[in-house]
A and B are shown apart, each in its own frame.
Chain A
Amino acid sequence: TQLLEQSPQFLSIQEGENLTVYCNSSSVFSSLQWYRQEPGEGPVLLVTVVTGGEVKKLKRLTFQFGDARKDSSLHITAAQPGDTGLYLCAGDPGTYKYIFGTGTRLKVLA
C-alpha cells in the first residue's frame, strides 16, 4: 500500500511566521499535487509538480518535489489568516489515481 505521510499533522502559528509542511513516501510518484481544503468544501488545486527537484512558486507559497520524486514540501512565507485550512498532498503513482496524504491542518492566528 502506498502511503503519503504529511507532517506536521497540526500547526497553529501567528500571522507573519513562516512554515514548512512535508509530504513523504517510500514510493515514487510520476507527479505530485498540493491542495488546500476549507471546511465543508472540496479541495482546491494549488500546484502540480512533475520533475524531480522541481521548485514552483505561487505568491508566498513555494513547492518543491524531491529529487527522487518520493517527497515534497510546501513552504509558506509570512503566513496570513487566509492561509488557514487543510493542506493535502496527493501523488500519482502513474495510474492517474491520486493517493492523498494524511493532511496538515494549519491555523494562522491574527
Chain B
Amino acid sequence: GAVVSQHPSWVICKSGTSVKIECRSLDFQATTMFWYRQFPKQSLMLMATSNEGSKATYEQGVEKDKFLINHASLTLSTLTVTSAHPEDSSFYICSAMGLAGDEQFFGPGTRLTVL
C-alpha cells in the first residue's frame, strides 16, 4: 500500500524559532499533498493544499506567511512554521493524493510543542 512518512515525528522548540516538517510519499508520486492541524481531542482542520511546482492554496484563516509550504518534487512537501509561538503547538498531519486522485494517504503526524 501507499506509504507517507513525516519527519520529525515530534519536535520541541523555543518560542520565536522556525520549525520545518517534511512529508514524503515513499512509494508513489503525489501531485497534491494536504496539510492538516489537529488540536487535542479535536478533529483535523485543513490548513492548505500543496501542489507540486506551484504555490500552495491556504484555507481561510491560515496565515500563509507563518506557515510556509514548499512542494518541490512529486514526493516531498515541507511545512515551515515560522516564528513559532505556544499557540502553534499542535499535531500536524500531511496527506498525499496519488496520481489517480481518488484517495489520500495520511502520514503519521508530527507533534509540535512550542515552549
Which residues of A are interface residues toward B (Cβ below 8 A)?
35, 40-45, 48, 88, 90, 96-103, 105
Q: How far is the CA of A35 from the CA of B90 in the complex (A)?
A: 20
Say whether B103 contacts A45, CB under 8 Å: yes
A42-B106 in contact given A97-B34, A102-B43, A103-B42 (Cβ < 8 Å): yes
Say whether B104 contacts A98, CB under 8 Å: yes
**A and B contact pairs by CB, cutoff 8 A, 17 listed:** A35-B106, A40-B111, A42-B4, A42-B93, A42-B109, A43-B44, A43-B93, A44-B106, A45-B105, A48-B102, A96-B97, A97-B34, A97-B46, A98-B46, A102-B43, A103-B42, A105-B41
Interface of B is mostly: strand
Say whether B44 contacts A100, CB under 8 Å: yes
Say whether A99 contacts B109, CB under 8 Å: no
Query: What's the least CB distance linking B32 to chain A, in Å?
Result: 7
Query: What's the least CB distance linking B50 to chain A, in Å?
Result: 12
Query: What's the least CB distance linking A36 to chain B, in Å?
Result: 11
Q: How far is the CA of A103 from the CA of B109 in the complex (A)?
A: 17
Query: What's the least CB distance linking B103 to chain A, in Å?
Result: 7
Query: What's the least CB distance linking B110 to chain A, in Å?
Result: 10
Residues facing A in B45-65 (CB within 8 A) are 45-46, 49
